[in-house]
A = this chain, B = another copy of it.
């Protein structure tokens, strides 16, 4: 039996046409259940105006065993499309129009039957009706477009600040064809290229930038950081090799050595004439670096030191520059004088002569391939009774006197070692800043792609940029806000570090540790999302996300494992307690929280807890209060827990482990508060109103998406009601939608040169 929309029976009773939109829907998309078929049949049965033949005709359209042909279905659609369907017509209304077109009006009984059938079909019917409505649907989702609500160059200026000149200079150097990416996966070819790039950068004076003028530099640590950050838009192996040479090797000699070392080495280090290593980590001791087992035994007779690796697992590992290029190393070893262990100290140890031949007693092994950073030649080093001269001890914090006696202005071995490490905290600032550049590269690629890439769309409508989809916005917009937020926070910690006073060091070290952990985790997470957000294109090496992700993946590990760093932050925060700790009690705790967080108990006022006004939700004061409250409460309760275990006689080591989960949260809450404060502080200094407005929106998104992430905590602590956290979720969705419109401009403002970005899906030309 045919199901032609040209059947003579239809011409004789055009009212029958009114069923065709429903039939079309049933066969085109839906799956009709037996119960639905019989319900529709019963509606047909109720139509007293139908002849037996007409009823049978209509019923025949519902027989699953006798479907219309593909051609017939197409002809129904063509016929339906002849009617002038309005935007809010439903199937029943379309059916009515189709009948009218054929010259027949429907009575109320039939109209209401059609509506009832449609209601029964529910959502499926609604969707189908939309598909039939217009040739070209214009939806809000399709129409959302990128705009530029601010001057991109002004925003770049806000980000670059007074680093603009050096940033521009580095970009100009990187634009030289010599810096074209190398398409090789041959390890030694890549390593040699990276070495060459480092040499070219050193020739520009970038390597010695932080060293004093007398040693060929400019004594400008601030510029050094900006150089590292800008180089990180290019090859990341080069950045790390650069950092190993000039940062770790150079700065260890500079900060741990004294004038004699500076005069002898710094100039050659800055020019890369003397490539070297920073040999601290051992196979057996990474995070717990205080426990390294390499020894430096003082020989009274020859006034020299013997560097020795006592067993295989005490070999130095992952040492950058070691496998191929390093000629010397700063080696961290336990100083032994007359069988007394004076803790970990630093020594300059020659590894290779200028011809590349390893020195006697030194064994070096290549670490081989890594997940990323394959342009860096990491290696393992073992020492077999290697004799080094007296003056090779880096003696700023400890020395051996003429009588072979240990001397140090710092009494405790531990504290001396951590003071030495403290001078090297710059690495914990350089790494997250490098990671941030990679994050910006990833976001630039994924957001530009998301703006251009179209996929899906309303039936019979054009396809939609994927960045117009809510889930895509949810994936990328909060991460864009994180990138801007951490930019300002990292600028701040850099300034604090550059202008540090001795008594601020503990605070600065905590900030650097916390920001390093938060920021590098954010890098890993962001690049993962960017990879997925670009789909198959994100998986192809031609779009570079793979390399950005793999190269930075170890940022969460080196310069301190992130989880360990967060605990370090927590320990620092706990020392705030001291006295409070001893006589802690509930009211004391509440007072402490209230006082330190500068939050009155009014904050816990039920009206505020429930406040879902838009103005309140977007208010920076609300965000700050929430972040600060959380930080203080988590700190206080972690301390309380810890104390409770101690009071119950638990070993302090166990007590710390017992509360470790909370301690890590202490670190997170601290860093999040710090970042929000510095984002707000940074925005307050922006003069251009349009930039300020765009940044303010980003900051609101940052704050609310963090609060949303922690909503379980806020609800557990009755700081917010469920109605408020739901309102926040809605507001985050709304902000994502708004920020999306500026998103391309916001990544353009990172101003990453096309030659560095080098992702086919994202370059501007």
Chain A interface residues toward B at CB < 8 A? 27-29, 31, 36, 67-74, 87-88, 119-124, 126-127, 130, 137, 139-142, 185-187, 281, 285-288, 291, 317-318, 340, 342, 367-372, 405-406, 408-416, 455-458, 461, 463, 468-472, 474-475, 506, 524, 528, 531-532, 535-536, 538-542, 545-546, 549-550, 553-554, 556-558, 561-563, 567, 574-575, 577-583, 639, 642-643, 646, 649-654, 657-658, 660-661, 664, 711-712, 715-718, 722, 725-726, 733
Contacts and interface: CB of A to CB of B under 8 A. Distances in A.
Contact of A660 (B471, B549, B643): B471
Contact of A553 (B408, B539, B563, B574): B539
A536 B555 CA distance: 10
Contacts of A368: 540-542
A471 B661 contact: yes
Contacts of A287: 455-456, 535
B546 A531 contact: no
Nearest to A24: B412
A308 to B, nearest CB: 21
Contacts of A652: 126-127, 130, 458
A606 B394 CA distance: 67
A690 to B, nearest CB: 28
A551 to B, nearest CB: 11
A112 to B, nearest CB: 14
Given A139-B654, A281-B536, 20 more contacts: A28-B411, A29-B415, A70-B406, A70-B416, A73-B411, A123-B642, A185-B187, A287-B455, A288-B456, A367-B540, A369-B542, A370-B539, A371-B538, A371-B539, A524-B528, A531-B553, A532-B561, A539-B553, A539-B554, A712-B712
B73 A412 contact: yes
A372 B547 CA distance: 11
Contacts of A556: 532
Nearest to A412: B28
A278 to B, nearest CB: 14
The DSSP consensus for interface residues of chain A is helix
A254 to B, nearest CB: 24
B74 A579 contact: no
A287 to B, nearest CB: 5
Contacts of A72: 411
Contacts of A187: 185
B471 A563 contact: yes
A142 B656 CA distance: 13
Contact of A653 (B458, B528, B538, B567): B458
Given A122-B577, A140-B651, A286-B536, A474 B414 contact: no
A332 to B, nearest CB: 16
B474 A119 contact: no
A280 B649 CA distance: 66
A318 B536 contact: yes
Contacts of A711: 712, 715-716
A315 to B, nearest CB: 13
A371 B541 contact: yes
A725 B733 contact: no
Contacts of A524: 528
Contacts of A127: 652
A547 to B, nearest CB: 9
Contact of A371 (B120, B469, B546): B546
A693 to B, nearest CB: 25
B579 A470 contact: no
A91 to B, nearest CB: 13
10 contacts: A120-B578, A122-B577, A123-B639, A286-B535, A287-B535, A291-B463, A372-B539, A469-B660, A472-B563, A715-B716
A42 to B, nearest CB: 15
A301 B581 CA distance: 93
The 10 A-B residue pairs with the shortest CB-CB distance, nearest first, are A371-B546, A369-B541, A716-B722, A122-B581, A715-B715, A458-B653, A122-B578, A712-B712, A711-B712, A470-B660
A718 B651 CA distance: 39
With most chain B CB atoms within 10 A of its CB, the pick from A70, A577, A664, A725 is A70
B458 A651 contact: yes
A411 B68 contact: yes
With most chain B CB atoms within 10 A of its CB, the pick from A36, A470, A574, A646 is A470
B716 A578 contact: no
A38 to B, nearest CB: 14
Given A124-B578, A318-B536, A27 B412 contact: yes
A652 B128 CA distance: 9
A739 B581 CA distance: 33
Contacts of A716: 711, 715, 722, 725-726
Nearest to A39: B579
B539 A657 contact: no
B536 A579 contact: no
B540 A557 contact: no
Contact of A29 (B414, B579, B649): B414
Contacts of A416: 70
Contact of A575 (B124, B506, B722): B124
Contacts of A121: 578
A463 B288 contact: yes
Nearest to A137: B651
Contact of A546 (B126, B139, B550): B550
A69 B535 contact: no
Contacts of A651: 87, 130, 137, 139-140, 458
Contacts of A71: 340, 405-406
Contact of A185 (B27, B186, B539): B186
A405 B650 CA distance: 84
A652 B581 CA distance: 59
Contacts of A87: 649, 651
B532 A120 contact: no
